[in-house]
């Protein structure tokens, strides 16, 4: 079992397809009738549902936050983006979580670039190939959560997922939870252990990341007629889709 699709309602699927392939080095995968974009079939793929909508308006209490792409060498990727003239934040080591930066796609959807090693512990991607696509994993679908116990019931109970890491950030009022269907043993059995984090960022599959907003009563969905998160799918060949409306009852 795996996280297979991140589904977004968008205004211009062709424009986004060009961004994710040309700028971020993804490939067009899926089928001709149902195209999807990513790096390899074994990871989650992006699926764009084009409809006539108002522009996406991201907010800090949205159910959907971002996708996360992990890289061997973040500085080389940022240098490439700067050369392309694409706006990207300066890389920084965020606490004991990771060396990262952020950018937005042409419709305003957030993308996080996260180095698989902490700051100063980078790999050496192949000299040939796309500067990002040649070293990337589509590693995270990140959703925000108000009721962590309800979502644990969904992930661990109904979906049979495994909690792989818990990363508290108390000074920011949130805690991160990472789920997958993989049964690999952790380097350290303590779910909060910092020793697990670089190992986790180097996994070749996609994790569901939950940001628990500890002071929030609820998270929000796109308004009617507005672009935004549509849901996600899991499975191998036969995919099961969970819509944003259904997910919001847990989150």
Distance (Å, whole) CA 228 – CA 163:
27
Using the predicted structure, report yes or no on whether residue 227 has a pLDDT greater than 80. yes
Quickly tell me which residue has 């009738």 as its tokens. Answer: 33
d(CA 213, CA 114): 21
| CA 16 to each of CA 48, 127, 241: distance values in angstroms, whole numbers, following the listed order | 8, 26, 22
The domain made up of 3-248 is a member of CATH 3.10.180.10:
yes
pLDDT for residue 31 is more than 90: no
> What percent of the chain has pLDDT above 90?
91
Tell me the pLDDT tens digit for each residue of 8-17.
999 999 999 9
Angstrom distance (rounded) from CA 244 to CA 241: 10
Per residue in 158-194, pLDDT (tens digit) is 999 999 999 999 999 999 999 999 999 999 999 999 9
Average of per-residue pLDDT across 13-26? 98
| Mean pLDDT computed over 212-223 | 92
Mean pLDDT of the chain: 96
Mean pLDDT score, 39-47: 96
């Amino acid at each position: 079992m795996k996280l297979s699709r991140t589904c977004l309602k968008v205004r211009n699927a062709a424009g986004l397809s060009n961004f994710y392939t040309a700028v971020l080095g993804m490939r067009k995968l899926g089928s001709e009738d149902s195209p999807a974009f990513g790096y390899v079939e074994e990871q989650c793929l992006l699926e764009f549902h084009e409809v006539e909508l108002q522009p996406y308006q991201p907010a800090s209490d949205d159910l959907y936050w971002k996708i996360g792409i992990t890289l061997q060498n973040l500085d080389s990727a940022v240098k490439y983006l700067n050369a392309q003239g694409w706006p990207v934040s300066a890389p920084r080591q965020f606490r004991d979580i990771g060396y990262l930066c952020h950018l937005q796609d042409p419709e305003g959807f957030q993308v996080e670039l996260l180095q698989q090693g902490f700051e100063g512990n980078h790999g050496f991607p192949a000299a040939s190939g796309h500067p990002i696509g040649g070293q990337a994993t589509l590693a995270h679908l990140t959703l925000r959560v108000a009721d962590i116990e309800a979502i644990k019931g969904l992930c661990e109970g109904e979906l049979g997922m495994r909690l792989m890491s818990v990363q508290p950030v108390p000074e920011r009022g949130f805690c991160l939870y990472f789920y997958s269907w993989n049964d690999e043993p952790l380097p350290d059995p303590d779910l909060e252990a910092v020793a697990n984090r670089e190992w986790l960022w180097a996994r070749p599959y996609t994790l569901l990341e939950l940001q628990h907003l500890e002071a929030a009563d609820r998270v929000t969905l796109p308004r009617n007629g507005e672009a935004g998160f549509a849901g996600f799918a899991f499975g191998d060949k036969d995919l099961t889709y969970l819509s944003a409306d259904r997910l919001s009852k847990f989150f």
